[in-house]
Structure 1
Amino acid sequence: MNPLCNRCNRVVYPTEKVNCLDKYWHKGCFTCEVCKMTLNMTNYRGFEKRPYCNAHYPRTGFTCVADTPENIRLKQQSKMQSQARYREDFEKSKGKSFTVVTDTPELQRLKKSQDQVSNIKYHEEFEKSKTPHPQGNPSPAAFQPMAAPQNYHRDSHPEPVSQAAAAPPPSAAGKRYRAVYDYAAADEDEVSFMDGDVIVDVQQIDVGWMYGRVERTGQQGMLPANYVEAV
């Protein structure tokens, strides 16, 4: 069945048929919508599935929008959303999230404490590799005087307790030490102190560790020897 012409709505026979813009036209009906100039397949220009000549082809122009405060706000909001979306996609492509951390004094103090603890752990492992201690570092309880047995009686044991059994391990000859760094205790048998604190009643445990009492706080425990200096 022969189709109908889109212009005159009459039957289009194969000898006079023009198939263009998804429609069928007579050769004489394929004209410009404005000036009715006869067109062909080489000089027509289509717009919304209608033929136009080059002179009457509709021109699309830009629409002017006034820069009102509301439009400026929407423009800035869209720009910020685009930047946030770009940064989010960029961080996802790296496989980790983006976190902005302010370098506050509290964070600086925590970072310094973590560095000091890491330094202590490193020195501890280093000293163990140099002079291994099979029994490990002695605890503060090892320096307490030996208690008498429960069945002890003065008449049955007239001999006095020996000086070596009751006395604590040799101390550092009454020396006082001053802390040159802050230290946070990493275990229950250790003691914390700050730069400038005075350490008294010091007992040398090994090359890397001491046992003493912080004069400012009254707390006592083990402390790293490379964090203090003799006064």
Structure 2
Amino acid sequence: MNPLCSRCDKVVYPTEKVNCLDKYWHKGCFSCEVCKMTLNMKNYKGFDKKPYCSQHYPKTSFTIVADTPENLRLKQQSKMQSQVLYKEEFEKSKGKGFSAVADTPEMQRVKKMQDQISNIKYHEEFEKSRMGGEGLPTDNFTSPGFQQPTHSPNFNYDPQPVRSAAAPPPPSSGGKCFRAVYDYAAADEDEVSFADGDLIVDVQQIDEGWMFGRVERTGMQGMLPSNYVQPI
């Protein structure tokens, strides 16, 4: 049985049938609801299961919510609930403190340098107060292997370990083998540069912060920081 046209309610035969928008139409009846322009499957636009041309297609718009007492009450309730949740999260995280900084060899070296400089400053201030402000030479309280920082309030110090000038380079044979765990660029002529993963041979310990060794990849030898390598 042939269906009826959604526009004219007459029988639609297969040769003139258009099946669209869950309905059946005559080809001539498949037209815009407003201007009655005949449409096809390529240029129609459906809205509420009715065909429209692009010119008369209903424009959707946002609905403005009336600022009624009920809406104001819901808005205030949502705001208060958000503040309660914020305070709960704040109280939970208040005792946790800041996230821990990764305890890398670089951070350990900087922390140690800061501790020793603080110790030097403490001794200087203690001696000045004991001697009535005259103070003693700061060389008496300088830790081995580190240079005395300047007394300028805006001084900057190099975070890398400072070598002791009195330590002579050890012989370059019979030492241990180490592997570099960080890249290092030589800062002085008697230092040696290396890359992460390089093999350091003939290593001799000079002090707590520095070693003497030879980079097997380049054949260069010199001073290197001990916290940039690890023993094999």
TM-score range, shorter chain: 0.3 to 0.5
What TM-score, normalized to structure 2?
0.34
The structure that has the greater radius of gyration is 1
What TM-score, normalized to structure 1?
0.34
